[in-house]
Amino acid sequence: MNNKEAGFTFVELLLVLTVTMIICSLSLVLGKAKLDERMANQFLYQLMLDIEQVQSESIGSGIISYLEFIDDGKKYRAYTLVDSEGGGNSPLNTRRYYLTRELPEGVTYSYNSPLRQIKIDSQGTFSSFGTLVFLTPTGNKSLIINIVKGRMKIVE
């Protein structure tokens, strides 16, 4: 057997390993972008469900409910105003929080957003409506909340 035909050279082996590493690193980078996109969309759908829950709570309790963003746009919470008697019509109201969630890592509420707080009256009608803007790793995403019944739409 001839020595030159015994196998691959060290340089050829390094070349194949380098090409393999480049392909693997590209797939990881592209996969992370897709994962970030999916995470941001999943968050927006969860926020829509939470807004619908706040609307349902408002109708069920017959009291105005609110949803606001706190901690520099990293959390949101829902609350109603209640007085010591349990009603919501007293001028000295206290907040009763019933929903608090953290935004996923990399997603923050933009304070340039036109809508800062969502207010839903006891009939389930949205008194505040507009656009919620979120900063995500893949760019800005908006949740548009329409007037009256609060139909929502996600905009990339």
Give the confidence band of 151 by pLDDT, cuts at 50, 70, 90: confident
What pLDDT does 51 receive? 92
Average pLDDT on 77-94 reads 70
Rounded CA-CA distance 7/22 in Å is: 24
Q: Give ∠ CA 144-66-137 in degrees, rounded to 5.
A: 45
Q: Using an 8 Å Cβ cutoff, are 100 and 77 in contact? A: yes
Task: Report whether pLDDT(55) > 70.
Answer: yes
Sequence-distant (≥ 6) Cβ neighbours of residue 130 within 8 angstroms: 113, 114, 115, 144, 145
CA 148 to chain centre: 23
Tell me the one-letter amino acid at 28.
L
Rounded CA-CA distance 19/95 in Å is: 60
What pLDDT does 47 receive? 93
Lowest model confidence (mean pLDDT) among 1-10, 11-20, 22-31: 1-10
What pLDDT does 50 receive? 94
Largest Cα–Cα separation, the chain: 99
Among the listed residues 124, 111, 130, 106, the one whose alpha carbon sits nearest the alpha carbon of residue 69: 111
Task: Find where tokens 């105005």 sit.
Answer: 64
Whole-model pTM: value is: 0.75
Domains of the chain: 9-155 (3.55.40.10)
Lowest model confidence (mean pLDDT) among 4-8, 21-25, 62-66, 118-122: 4-8
Give the confidence band of 134 by pLDDT, cuts at 50, 70, 90: very high
What pLDDT does 3 receive? 61
